[in-house]
């Protein structure tokens, strides 16, 4: 009977050891991978940037800047000395100048800041005029090309 108790105790110790090994050794999960940190750092810039927006009627706008800095986290861009030319049927183009600007990630909106100047008309069709402001938001229409 004594040898049976020893065998039973040894079997219990072996099962306990196997359980511990399975719990901590064999079934150990992979450590969680850290997600890359999302930062608002630029990934590229373009000197003498130009974008043209078109629709079925033709060119709707031209966006130019001395420099465009692109941010990959939201697709937005900063613009140095932007110039927006908007074309309207039956009218002369409208020119908008500023010291800096921000372009939305989808390209549908431009926010201009710093000495914003809007030059409208100045041709034979319209009397024209110049408007100035500190800030301006422009909704661009047409697709970019």
Q: Where in the chain are the domains?
A: 1-29, 44-144
CATH of domain 44-144: 2.60.450.10
pTM of the model as a whole: 0.68
Percentage above 90 pLDDT, the chain: 39
Mean residue pLDDT of the chain comes to 83
128-140 per-position pLDDT tens digit:
788 889 999 999 8
Q: Tell me how far apart the alpha carbons of residues 112 and 100 are, in angstroms, rounded to a whole number.
A: 6
Could you tell me which of 77, 76, 82 has the C-alpha nearest to residue 118?
82
Q: Is the pLDDT of residue 122 over 80?
A: no
Q: 30-39, 49-58, 77-86, 111-120 — which is least confidently predicted? A: 30-39
Q: Is the pLDDT of residue 116 over 60?
A: yes
4-53 per-position pLDDT tens digit:
778 788 888 888 877 777 777 655 566 677 777 777 788 889 999 999 98
């Amino acid at each position: 009977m004594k040898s049976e108790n020893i065998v039973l105790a040894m079997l219990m110790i072996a099962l306990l050891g196997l359980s511990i090994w399975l719990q901590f050794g064999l079934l150990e999960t992979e450590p969680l991978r850290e997600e890359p940190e999302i930062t608002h750092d630029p990934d590229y810039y373009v000197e003498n940037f130009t974008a043209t927006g078109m629709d079925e009627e033709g060119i709707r706008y031209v966006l130019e800047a001395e420099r465009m800095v692109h941010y990959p986290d939201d697709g937005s861009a900063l613009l140095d000395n932007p110039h927006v030319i908007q074309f309207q049927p039956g009218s002369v183009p409208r020119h908008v100048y500023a010291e800096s600007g921000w372009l939305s990630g989808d390209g549908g909106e431009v926010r201009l800041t710093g000495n914003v100047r809007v030059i409208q008309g100045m041709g034979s069709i319209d009397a024209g005029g110049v408007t100035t402001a500190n800030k301006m938001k422009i909704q661009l229409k047409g697709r970019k090309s």
